[in-house]
Each structure stands twice: as C-alpha cells, then as structure tokens.
C-alpha cells in the first residue's frame, strides 16, 4: 500500500458514508469500549496471509474467496459456520487437484455485517425509513424500531465475529482443513443415492486425488441441477 491504514480511518470517514448516527454520544461510548477489546485477527495470521498472497501474485498458488454477501444475527450458528467452512474446503480441493497448486483461502465471514447503500432512506407505500445498512447498524424489517440505528449492535457484531473466528480456528487447527481429510468434507452433503454409492464404494476411508476431483465435480453438478429445479 502506498500509505499506512490507520485503525481509526473508518470512524473518521463516517461523515462521507451517509451512515446515520442519531446518538453520537452513545456511538462514541461504544467505539471507546471496542477499542479496549483484543484484536479479532492476530499479527501472525496477517503475516501468513501476506505470505500466501505473495505466492498467488507469483502464480504459484490460486486465490479462493468465499462467503455470504452479508452475515446476519438471525442465521448465526456453529452449524452454518462449519458448513461454510466445508464448502470453501471442497472448492479449494477442486482447484488444488485440477491446477496442481496450493490455494490461499479467504473467507468472507466474521465481520460482513455492513451493507452499503446509495440512498440513506428507503420508501415504501409513501413511508420513508432509514435504509437497511446491515445488522451492525439496524435490522432488515421495514418498520421504525427495526430501522432505527442502534450503537449496541456494534457490540453484538464484534462478539459474533469473535465467536465465528474462534469456531473457524478450531475447525482448521483440529485437522478438518487437512487435505487428507477431504472425505469428511463430503459427509452430510451427498444426498444423491448414486453419489452416496460411489462415495461408499470408492472412498474407504480416504479419497485419493483423482477420486476427490471426480467426486467434487459430481457434487457440484448435482447441487447445480438441484438449484435450477
């Protein structure tokens, strides 16, 4: 980067983001509280990502980014986080075996709670309310209380992001991300009887490279066909 990125940059640029702050004092109190919290991402993790991105820039690895457009409070659960983690691993396996290169995996998760909007207000049937700006600001339901910006949502967003990262770290460090465990990523995903039979007959107890590539593409095709029906 040509210039340093200070952690306070987001707060200083709020005036140009059309983000409603009806209670500046409460907002400042919450941001001061968050400033005292431990960092969500550690320096070693950032250094490791930079190393992997350097390999990508040198064409020695692929970059895979996956996740939702935006996270929510309502859908936050360990099962959803685990399933997203497995999907990213499955996609990375296809890239790894097809391209014969490692994959730098980046999850769009643990903080995707803001929705940019071109207009500060949304109008329905003649009623204008604050636009939905993500769960860190307000709720998606179209009514006055739900669309009212609430600084307390920043605290809940931070806690949810921290919990999400802890689950992801536990899954990764617990061995699930090991490519030798690719067979376990498919458990609970394969519902097609034909694929289940192939999985049971050819993947005992682990997939080799060719089996993993074939099965991953079969699963992707099956999911695509199911999504189009």
List binding-site positions for Mn(2+): 69
List Cβ<8 Å contacts ≥24 apart for 204-207. 206/180, 206/181, 206/182, 207/182, 207/183
Residue ranges of the annotated binding site are: 69, 108
Residue ranges of the annotated binding site for phosphoenolpyruvate are: 108
Is the separation of the CB atoms in 107 and 168 below 8 Å? yes
Q: What is the Cα–Cα distance from 214 to 114, expressed in whole angstroms?
A: 38
Q: How many CB atoms lie within 10 A of CB 60?
A: 11
First-to-last C-alpha distance (Å) of the chain:
46
Is the separation of the CB atoms in 110 and 165 below 8 Å? yes
SS3 content of the chain, % helix, strand, coil (to 5): 50, 10, 40
């Amino acid at each position: 980067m040509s210039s340093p990125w200070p952690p306070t940059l987001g707060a200083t640029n709020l005036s140009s983001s059309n983000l409603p702050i009806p209670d500046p004092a409460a907002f400042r109190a919450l941001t001061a509280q968050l400033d005292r919290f431990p960092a969500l991402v550690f320096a070693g993790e950032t250094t490791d990502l930079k190393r992997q991105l350097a390999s990508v820039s040198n064409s020695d690895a692929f970059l895979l980014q996956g996740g939702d457009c935006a996270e929510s409070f309502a859908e936050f659960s360990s099962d959803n986080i685990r399933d997203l983690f497995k999907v990213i691993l499955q996609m990375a396996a296809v890239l790894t075996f097809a391209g014969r290169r490692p994959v730098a995996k980046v999850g769009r998760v643990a903080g995707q709670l803001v929705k940019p909007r071109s207009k500060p207000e949304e109008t329905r049937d003649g009623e204008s309310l604050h636009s939905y700006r993500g769960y860190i600001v307000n709720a998606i339901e179209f009514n006055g209380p739900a669309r009212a910006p609430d600084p307390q949502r920043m605290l809940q967003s931070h806690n949810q992001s921290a919990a999400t990262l802890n689950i992801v770290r536990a899954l990764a460090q617990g061995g699930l991300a090991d490519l030798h465990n690719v067979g376990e990523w498919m458990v609970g995903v394969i519902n097609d009887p034909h694929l289940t039979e192939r999985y049971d007959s050819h993947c005992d107890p682990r997939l080799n490279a060719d089996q993993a590539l074939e099965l991953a593409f079969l699963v992707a095709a099956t999911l695509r066909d199911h999504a189009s029906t």
